[in-house]
Chain A
Amino acid sequence: MLFKILSKDGFRSLVEIILQSNEIIAPKKIGTKADGDPIHQFLPVTSFEEMDLDYRTTEYSAKTYFLPYRENLCTFDFEADDWEQKIAYRMQPRAIIGLRAFDINALTKLDKVFSKGRFPSPYYISRRKNTFIVGIDREPLEDEFCQSIGADIVTHGFDLFMTDLGDRYFVAVDSDRGFNLLNRVDVREVTDEDTQAYKEVRKRIQNGFKTKINLSNLPNLLDLEFTSEVWKKWGDKCLSCGSCAMVCPTCYCYGVSEEVSMDFKEGARVKQLYSCNLLDFARVAGGHNFRPDQETRLKYRYYHQHRGFLEDYDEPKCVGCNRCGRVCLAGISPAAVIRDLYEENV
């Protein structure tokens, strides 16, 4: 990995250079909750000032810039007695600025499925390749457990990754295009003093994690606890609403359906993100539902996160952001469920 030092002014220039020719998506404050907490979302910004890199969290992850909630896989034109199919997945290059380490790790997990998996998705690859990623480190929130998962540190999957050293950024460079862009602004080599400062900031961040989960034997434990009452305890609370999967940076399940225009002259094949907690997730033709109750569906969500994905890709799917835990109106969070499994709290 190559490291550089970027001045704060240099960073502003960098953002302005990108803005001259590309769209930038960045955390933006859009409101305030009833309890006074700010609400941030990843949204297009048109100026440096609009970005708020000091954001604490976003309810929604940035995954939908790669896996939109809804997209047309193809469209059809019906003409006389014939029809034509059109597929379009090219997109304009853009930049996402301000992703945390775990959100970039979430993308590298999605890469394993959609870029390097058995069935690569050109839709995903096109978006991923055409997105310039600038990440930024910060101290964790109380409920984030990404350190336990090893997702608090990022080593690839981005173009630039910045650590704030107060009056300058310590920047990790992971791509040619990142290197080239950096060279257009005020950037210099790293000194020993910079390295020292970086290590101190990293230590502070590293020591900031409050929520820990024990992953060491989790896949085996999951197998042993397949019939545990813990699943019922939490499953009984589940509203089967799918909010957890919608905000999760790595959930990628989807359904495909066909739609036809009202004049019957055009059609579209539409992909929409779905969730394994939804009641009909495992309902098949003929009406049989393989996972008819909340408890089973919730269980399989955890099995995919911490066992099934691991089997295919040697790492859990979850990155420990706890977005699912925060969004869940029923108060179901991975740290609590996994703790209960270890401690057999029913």
Chain B
Amino acid sequence: MKHLNIEQKRPRIAVFDFTGCEGCELQLANKEETLGAFLDAIEVINYREVSSEKGDNYDVALIDGAITRPDEIERLKAIREKAKVLVAMGSCACFGGVTKLKNAYNLDEANREVYGDCPKETIPTMAVGDVVTVDLKLPGCPVSKDEVERVVQHLVWDLPLPTYAYPVCLQCKQRYTVCRFDMGELCLGPITRAGCNAPCPAGGLGCWGCRGPAENPNYEEFFALAKEKGFSEQEVKDRLAFFGGFEDVL
């Protein structure tokens, strides 16, 4: 493909799933209006949702899911060695995600609860970055396809990567949403990183913080205001723990 007479790079991309719901991978195949163009812009090396091709001559590895078994550590390290760019995609890969909730329990008990008499080998849940070096994090549950597209555009045309220092509230306000606090509900928007375009408050649900903390969030004030509005410390902590992004303040 040529643009402005320049031959366009086609990044060789592979997608790998670890422990998670695979929702992020499905998300990559979403947004039908640009799916054709998206797949044209890249070379799919390994991505089981859209192609049976398998190979290991990829440059970019998109990692979906958290690390919860010893064999996953080995597999992830091998991928890291081959990939020039490794992207942690989604909240599980970036923070550990929902599966990280198990770390609060005794692992053997958790194992029995889920697998009964056929326990599986398991370790405390880790984020991808706890095991290997991550070049780029795209938090979100699921990952935003828009953001993945921007990453591809960065790889192809060197367009700047999206960055959001500010919290969800800004994008929430830009949609004229009625604040969930005004409706008597809790919302993590004031401390959570924007970039999702605040779909949850707009849909009538407070933010659950799937994108993790904004840059330098004001936790102290947030805890104070949540308390003042009548939310218990436990309620706030449970929500902060949900996607694993707020470990530092728990």
Contacts and interface: CB of A to CB of B under 8 A. Distances in A.
Q: Is B a genuine binding partner of A? A: yes
Interface of A: 30-31, 33-35, 39, 41, 59-60, 69-70, 78, 80-83, 236-243, 246-247, 257-258, 260-264, 272-273, 275, 278-280, 283, 294, 327, 329-331
A301 to B, nearest CB: 14
B222 interface: yes
Given A240-B167, A263-B37, A60 B176 contact: yes
B5 interface: yes
Contacts of B241: none
B177 to A, nearest CB: 10
Contact of A59 (B167, B178, B222): B178
Nearest to A82: B4
A262 B40 CA distance: 9
A246 B173 contact: yes
- B37, B176, B220 — most chain A CB neighbours (10 Å): B176
Contact of A327 (B157, B179, B214): B179
Contacts of A239: 167, 169, 190-191, 217-218, 221-222
A341 B157 CA distance: 51
A70 B165 CA distance: 18
Contacts of A278: 165-166, 170
Contacts of B4: 78, 80-83
B221 A237 contact: yes
Given A34-B182, A294-B218, A329-B190, A240 B174 contact: no
- B149, B159, B222 — most chain A CB neighbours (10 Å): B159
A246 B174 contact: yes
Interface in B147-190: 149, 152-153, 156-157, 159-160, 163, 165-167, 169-170, 173-174, 176, 178-179, 181-184, 189-190
A292 B189 CA distance: 21
Contact of A242 (B156, B173, B182): B173
Query: DSSP class of A's interface residues: helix, strand, loop or mixed?
Result: loop
Interface of B: 1, 3-5, 8, 34, 37-38, 40-41, 149, 152-153, 156-157, 159-160, 163, 165-167, 169-170, 173-174, 176, 178-179, 181-184, 189-191, 214-218, 220-222, 225
22 contacts: A30-B178, A33-B178, A41-B176, A59-B178, A59-B179, A60-B176, A236-B220, A238-B218, A239-B167, A239-B222, A240-B214, A241-B167, A243-B170, A260-B157, A262-B153, A263-B40, A263-B41, A264-B3, A264-B41, A279-B166, A329-B190, A330-B225
The 7 closest A-B pairs by CB, nearest first: A34-B184, A263-B37, A246-B173, A241-B169, A262-B34, A69-B174, A262-B37
A242 B170 contact: yes
Contact of A39 (B178, B189, B191, B222): B178
- A241, A294, A330 — most chain B CB neighbours (10 Å): A241
A283 B159 CA distance: 19
Contacts of B149: 262
Contacts of B5: 80-81
Contacts of B179: 59, 327, 329
A280 B184 CA distance: 30
A69 B166 CA distance: 16
Contacts of B1: 264
A246 B175 CA distance: 10
A262 B217 CA distance: 33
A294 B214 CA distance: 14
Given A39-B178, A60-B176, A264-B157, A280 B169 contact: no
B173 to A, nearest CB: 4
Contact of B166 (A257, A262, A273, A280): A280
Given A241-B167, A278-B170, 16 more contacts: A39-B182, A78-B3, A80-B4, A82-B4, A239-B169, A240-B216, A241-B169, A242-B170, A243-B173, A247-B173, A262-B34, A262-B152, A264-B8, A280-B166, A280-B215, A329-B181
A330 B220 CA distance: 11
A251 to B, nearest CB: 11
Contacts of B215: 279-280
Contacts of B3: 78, 264
- A41, A78, A83, A262 — most chain B CB neighbours (10 Å): A262
A243 B166 CA distance: 11
A241 B40 CA distance: 38
Nearest to A280: B165
- B152, B165, B183, B221 — most chain A CB neighbours (10 Å): B221
A82 B5 CA distance: 9
Nearest to B167: A241
B172 to A, nearest CB: 8
Contacts of A238: 218, 221
